Structure 1
Amino acid sequence: MSYKNITILGETILPGESKTINMEIARLHTMTKLKVPIIIERAEEDGPVVLFTASIHGDEINGTEIVRQLIVRKINKPKRGTIICIPVVNIFGFVNKSREFPDGRDLNRVFPGSQRGSLAGRFAWHLFREIIPNVDYCIDYHAGGASRFNAPQIRIVPNNPDLKALADVFNAPFTLYSKNISGSFRNACGRLGVKILLYEGGKSLDLNRDVTQAAVRGTKRFLNHLDMLNPKKKFKPAPTPSVYIERSAWVRATYSGLFQNRTPTGKLVEKGEAIALITDPFGDFEHVVKAPHRGYIINSNDAPIVYQGDAIFHITMKLTEQ
């Protein structure tokens, strides 16, 4: 029987092997080494190669926790094929609890990178040269930024039946149709034929158990669909189908002040429903924020202080059936 050859950073991973390969692109300015562990589990039986990535933005640590749980619970040990886990892609930002690379660039806007470009660009280039050519499927785990909490959701490009089918299988509480952004990891993977789902949940510099568990359960369903889930691992079908979203809109603060969010993320709200309160610090006014239309709240601002024009809620506008 012939097997697909898998070689990463000069190391070949044979059927039945487990390996951790450290990728080192650059050191800190103190000359301290920073290595990115790439954790690879290959079954005896050949099959697809699946990549799980997190912390492309270094402050989105909930994704790291998701991939960590896949590892410690041995969900990453496949029945067939290969599973590659990179719990922390942007190790520089992770160390600094920062979204960006030390060069100030957003790693998720420079893919597929450049061999002679910026530090972020060089890192992206190595990732796409050494790892992505081996990959058939990918789930990239993210979180909301700037104190904005995302309801657990999968994002896929519209009009792609293959990704729609995988999103159905993952069955997150919400699935958003969103176009790829130039320079993003998702866009670059798609151009190379990698079938990629982007998972969003929670917020930066925060760990949330519900968000983590929704991702782990969805990932198990995903692996089971590919006939890769270890038979020792059980999975549960989702109790309700994912809510598919074609359009959504931001609600922005019309006043600056103290922000009191009264509505949990994920809730279905009605037009005119009171969803938050903005007050001044001195007791002069209280402004009630009302839902502009019926829809689900898929993102909310957890900041205690907001300025006029700040995005405070993201509410769905158009839903579709599965």
Structure 2
Amino acid sequence: MYTNDVLEILGETIKPGQSAEVSFNVAKLHTRTPVDVPIIIERSKKPGPTILFTAGIHGDEINGVEIVRQLISKGINKPKIGTTICIPVLNIFGFINMERAFPDGRDLNRVFPGMKNGSLASRVAYELIQEVVPHADFIVDFHTGGAFRFNAPQIRIERGSEDDDVMAEIFGAPFILYSQNLNKSFRNACNKLGKPILLYEGGKSFDLDNTVTNTGVNGAKRIMNHFGMLRRQFKVSEPKKECVKITESSWLRAKHSGMFKATVKLGVEVKVGDDIGNITDPYGKFNHFVKSKHAGYIININQSPIVYQGDALFHISTEVLK
């Protein structure tokens, strides 16, 4: 049963029906300039669940930042009941410098639950877990593919939780990828605390893609609608196609170094032996056709124009739930 108590978060008090921007004081730059992470909180006067939307754990993953930005700018985050907490950029240092990691070289998504007196990244993780996550009843964390690897919009959850399955289907991304929680990841830390979480992946670093961001925003609206939090003026669309549930997948790696170009589209289904790309040299003397080793769906494509032998080119599903 949800209550309508006063929300005490990061030293601030937010009453039902109030809006607030709370400063998550991370640290200071080497110039002594303070760096704050804004946390946007919207509360209804009516009791209900609290949903936490997070993005920017990696500073170069801009699509997730854009999704949460749109939730705020369009007023979607103002709930009919309950509370929303939006953190568009968790790794503000990486976002400022357009880098994935923190200035200490650590990946924020590999240091949870963090330590009060640990590294900079570890301290941020600790504050998030101690001060923000306990208030959440449900969490959606937005990510993108690293480097040039472009992910098809997908929800990642561990297999075995019926509740997670239901919520992932409600979100409505084209793919659900069952994957184990990585040690010291945000998702793993939340699960250990009993906080249900969906991890959304879509697009690639240093990039904004309309399909990826629209899928994320629509998914967030469906989640809010499920909890009775979405206001009437916002419409909930049905997913364009039935979600594909992937239980096993495999990376297809380059056999040769050279100039690379994919010849299939993201999200399509391929058969064994299909030509899906080619690797050439700059001199017009070499042309290697990349063929699929598996029958399945293309859920990630390396969009780098230059690849080296052994580089991951395609992520292809090998087993799906029917």
State TM-score, norm by structure 1: 0.98
- What is the rounded CA distance, in whole Å, between the counterparts of 1:141 and 1:90 in structure 2? 13
The question of 1:187 aligning with 2:188 is answered yes
* Unmatched segments (≥5 aa) in structure 1: none
The CA deviation string for residues 133-155 of structure 1, in whole angstroms up to 9 with x for no partner, is 10110000000002100000000
Amino acid at match of 1:143: T
> Are the equivalent residues in 1 in contact too, given 2:156–2:179 (CA < 8 A)?
yes
Divergent runs of 4+, >6 A = none
The CA deviation string for residues 244-303 of structure 1, in whole angstroms up to 9 with x for no partner, is 000000000000000011111111111111110101112221000011121110000000
The CA deviation string for residues 221-264 of structure 1, in whole angstroms up to 9 with x for no partner, is 11111111111211112132210000000000000000011111
Matched residue of 2:177: which SS?
A: strand
- What is the rounded CA distance, in whole Å, between the counterparts of 1:299 and 1:13 in structure 2? 42
For residue 268 of structure 2, what is the aligned residue in structure 1? Answer: 267
- The alpha-carbon deviation at position 3 of structure 1 amounts to 2.0
Amino acid at match of 1:120: A
Amino acid at match of 2:97: N
For residue 177 of structure 1, what is the aligned residue in structure 2? Answer: 178
- What is the rounded CA distance, in whole Å, between the counterparts of 2:3 and 2:173 in structure 1? 36
- What is the rounded CA distance, in whole Å, between the counterparts of 1:286 and 1:254 in structure 2? 12
Amino acid at match of 1:147: F
Amino acid at match of 2:208: L
For residue 13 of structure 1, what is the aligned residue in structure 2? Answer: 14
Matched residue of 2:34: which SS?
A: coil
- What is the rounded CA distance, in whole Å, between the counterparts of 1:306 and 1:238 in structure 2? 35
The question of 1:249 aligning with 2:278 is answered no
Amino acid at match of 1:123: V
State TM-score, norm by structure 2: 0.98
**Within 5 A, what are the aligned runs for 1:17-166?**
17-166=18-167
- The alpha-carbon deviation at position 25 of structure 1 amounts to 1.9
For residue 295 of structure 1, what is the aligned residue in structure 2? Answer: 296
Amino acid at match of 1:311: A
Amino acid at match of 1:310: D
The CA RMSD measured in Å over matched residues stands at: 1.0
Matched residue of 1:92: which SS?
A: helix
Q: What is the percentage of aligned positions where both structures have the same residue?
A: 55
> Are the equivalent residues in 1 in contact too, given 2:5–2:16 (CA < 8 A)?
no
For residue 287 of structure 2, what is the aligned residue in structure 1? Answer: 286
Deviates more, 1:233-242 or 1:280-289: 233-242
- The alpha-carbon deviation at position 30 of structure 1 amounts to 1.4
Amino acid at match of 2:185: S
Length, aligned pairs only: 321
- What is the rounded CA distance, in whole Å, between the counterparts of 2:178 and 2:191 in structure 1? 15
For residue 309 of structure 1, what is the aligned residue in structure 2? Answer: 310
Matched residue of 1:65: which SS?
A: helix
The CA deviation string for residues 36-86 of structure 1, in whole angstroms up to 9 with x for no partner, is 000000001011010000010000011000000111111100010000000
Matched residue of 1:34: which SS?
A: strand
Matched residue of 1:100: which SS?
A: coil
* Unmatched segments (≥5 aa) in structure 2: none
Deviates more, 1:230-239 or 1:176-185: 230-239
- The alpha-carbon deviation at position 2 of structure 1 amounts to 5.2
- What is the rounded CA distance, in whole Å, between the counterparts of 2:217 and 2:164 in structure 1? 18
- The alpha-carbon deviation at position 5 of structure 1 amounts to 3.7
> Are the equivalent residues in 1 in contact too, given 2:6–2:16 (CA < 8 A)?
no
The CA deviation string for residues 106-161 of structure 1, in whole angstroms up to 9 with x for no partner, is 00000110001000001111111110110110000000002100000000111011
Matched residue of 1:25: which SS?
A: strand
- What is the rounded CA distance, in whole Å, between the counterparts of 1:309 and 1:47 in structure 2? 50
- What is the rounded CA distance, in whole Å, between the counterparts of 1:63 and 1:148 in structure 2? 15
The CA deviation string for residues 178-233 of structure 1, in whole angstroms up to 9 with x for no partner, is 11001000000111111100000000000000000011111111111111111121
- What is the rounded CA distance, in whole Å, between the counterparts of 1:234 and 1:220 in structure 2? 8
- What is the rounded CA distance, in whole Å, between the counterparts of 2:229 and 2:87 in structure 1? 18
> Are the equivalent residues in 1 in contact too, given 2:64–2:142 (CA < 8 A)?
yes
